[in-house]
Every structure is written in C-alpha cells, then in structure tokens.
C-alpha cells in the first residue's frame, strides 16, 4: 500500500485499502424482508439492520460461497487483539466466485486454528515459503510459475484476491500454490510446526502510516519472535515496502533481533532480487514516485 501520511487514499476494490465497513453485496447485506428506505432516517435504520444481519451471519460462520473459504474461520475479526488488517467486505467478480467454488476444495485452506498443517504432505515434499498478504496474487502466481520446485503457502484475508489467485494458478496449471484464508498470525501460531518453513515473504504490507496505528504493523519484534520459531535455520525473510519509515522499521527490528542476520555485508537494504516480480501495490507506489526497499535476512 502506498499512502500519503494520514490520508491513505482508499481504493475500495484493492486489498489493504478498504474502509472499516465496506458495503456488503445486496443479497447478503439486506434480508429480503427489509423495508424500502424512504427517508434518511429509514436509510440509516436499514443500513444498521443490514450491518447487524452481516454481523450475525459472520458469527454463525456462514460461508459466502458454498464450498469456498469460511467466513472468518478462526474468529480473528472478533478478537480483541490488534490486527494488521481491517475487517471488510469487497465485491467478488463472477470469475473469482467461480474459482472460489470450484478450486477452494482442492487448493484452499481455512485458518481455523484447529490443528497443525502437514506441509510436506500438502506440498508433496517441496520446500515451502510462506507469503503473507498476497493481495490479488499476480506476483505470487508469477513466482510459483518461475520456480515450480518451491511451494508457496499464500495467506490473505481478502476474498476477491483468494479467488483471483486460485484462478491464475488454475489457468497456468500450477500445482505449487496453496491459498490460506485468514489471519497469518493464527496460521503461524497455531497451525505451523516448529522449523516448518523454508522462507517468509511479506511484500508491501499495510504501512499503517498514522502514528496511533503503528502498533498494527506486521513487522515488529513480537512477530519476528514467532516467525523465528517457524523458520528453518538458513531460511530467508524477505520484506519489501515503498513506505520509507516502514522500511526503516523493518531494517531496525530485524537487525536488532538475535535470531536474524542481514544478507547484506553493509547491514543495509538489499538490491531487489530478480525473483520478486513487480507487485500491484509496488506499481502504485512507483507511480507516486516512492522509493522501494527490499530487506533480506537469514534465520540463524
């Protein structure tokens, strides 16, 4: 994401940019019996009823797409913990919906916190890299196509992106991508074994530019403590951002962490590795004249 300070310029269809309560699609947002709004007060009341209907549906854990990803599988949206993403609803295209319904049973995985995933079985013995926050998944699909000998466990909470990535992987005939639905923290904490991962990629994580939101940033010491337990020795953590203060934070917390070592002898940013494709958010950042930094550290 590529915000200007304090005004992150929402783009409602984009991951990471949606407002707190994005408008729900009509059939799910409003019960069929909802009266037609005639005045502003009626409209407000209808909106409140629709929001409450949506909350109830979520609490019942009803999926939006039969056979597709579960709604808020581990209840993360209702946790009091500070999250690195905002609960939101975004429109899903017909193509994404088709991919979710057709391909989720084969390639999808709900982060329900109910057991440790057997990664060697899931990826037929390939080394596995976790990508947190793949957005619409174009870069993920590209990396999977470029390196079929590495499995990518791609996690995001963004339903349209999940459908998009499944569709891309299907059309490209990829068998080394799995799409996880839910909060990466719960995935790391509850569902991955110690030393299960061969790498971690976090590309253009939400920068949370306002000072009071800095606590929501993903890359901080507590997160690295957890990540360090899930990575094999020698595994690489690769982060990239176009938000200068966040790049500085990434470098600072990784440098200070005793279990990580900078791949760069000078202790600074890394040159952009050839394997990282241009991502959607990176493109937007470059259009705004932002400078992109890659940070690559090895798990000791």
Ligand X SMILES: C[S@@+](CC[C@H](N)C(=O)[O-])C[C@H]1O[C@@H](n2cnc3c(N)ncnc32)[C@H](O)[C@@H]1O
Q: Quick one: CA torsion of 152, 279, 277, 92, rounded to 10 degrees? A: 50
296 C-beta neighbours (distance < 10 Å), count: 20
Residues in the chain: 300
Q: Do residues 2 and 284 make contact, with C-beta atoms less than 8 angstroms apart? A: yes
Closer by beta carbon to ligand X, 133 or else 163: 133
Q: Which residues bind ligand X (CB under 6 A)?
A: 1, 15-16, 84-85, 132-135, 155-158, 161, 183-185, 203-206, 218, 279-282
Closer by beta carbon to ligand X, 30 or else 180: 180
Give yes or no: 206 in active site.
yes
* DSSP codes of every residue in 18-72: --TTPPPPHHHHS-TTPPPP-SHHHHHHHHHHHHHHHHHHHHTT--SSTTSPPSS
CB of 170 to ligand X, least distance (A): 20
Closer by beta carbon to ligand X, 69 or else 161: 161
Cβ-in-10-Å burial (0-12, 13-18, 19+) of 215 comes to exposed
CB of 189 to ligand X, least distance (A): 11
CB of 92 to ligand X, least distance (A): 14
Query: Residue with CB nearest ligand X?
Result: 133
CB of 36 to ligand X, least distance (A): 34
User: For the chain, give me the number of helices (H) and strands (E)?
Assistant: 10, 8
Q: Which of 206, 225, 287, 294 is catalytic?
A: 206
Strand partners, 197: 231
CB of 277 to ligand X, least distance (A): 10
What does the angle CA 214 – CA 1 – CA 85 come to, to the nearest 5 degrees?
A: 55
Closer by beta carbon to ligand X, 151 or else 161: 161
Residue with tokens 């088709």: 98
How would you classify residue 291: left for phi > 0, otherwise alpha for psi between -120 and 50, otherwise beta?
Answer: beta
Closer by beta carbon to ligand X, 54 or else 206: 206
Catalytic residue ranges:
206
């Amino acid at each position: 994401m590529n915000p200007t300070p304090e005004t992150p310029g929402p783009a409602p269809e984009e991951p990471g940019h949606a407002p707190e309560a994005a408008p729900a699609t009509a059939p799910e947002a409003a019960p069929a019996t909802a009266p037609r709004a005639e005045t502003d007060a009626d409209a407000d009341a209808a909106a409140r009823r629709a929001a409450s209907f949506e909350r109830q549906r979520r609490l019942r854990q009803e999926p939006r797409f039969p056979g597709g990803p579960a709604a808020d599988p581990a209840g993360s949206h209702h946790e009091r913990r500070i999250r690195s993403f905002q609960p939101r609803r975004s429109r899903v295209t017909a193509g994404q919906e088709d991919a979710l319904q057709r391909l989720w049973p084969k390639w999808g995985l709900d982060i329900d916190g109910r057991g440790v995933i057997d990664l060697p079985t899931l990826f037929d013995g390939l080394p596995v890299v976790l990508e947190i926050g793949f957005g619409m998944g174009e870069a993920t699909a590209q990396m999977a196509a470029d390196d079929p000998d590495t499995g990518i466990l791609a996690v995001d909470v963004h339903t349209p992106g999940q459908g998009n990535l499944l569709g891309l992987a299907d059309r490209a005939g990829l068998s080394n991508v799995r799409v996880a639905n839910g909060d990466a923290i719960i995935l790391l904490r509850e569902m991955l074994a110690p030393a299960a991962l061969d790498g971690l990629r976090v590309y253009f994580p939400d920068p949370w530019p306002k000072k009071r939101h800095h606590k929501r940033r993903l890359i901080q010491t507590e997160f690295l403590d957890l990540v360090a337990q899930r990575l094999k020795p020698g595994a690489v953590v690769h982060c990239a951002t176009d938000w200068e203060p966040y790049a500085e934070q990434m470098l600072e917390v990784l440098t200070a962490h005793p279990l990580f070592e900078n791949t760069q002898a000078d202790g600074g940013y890394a040159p952009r590795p050839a394997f990282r494709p241009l991502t959607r958010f990176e493109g937007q950042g470059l259009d705004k004249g932002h400078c992109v930094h890659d940070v690559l550290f090895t798990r000791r």
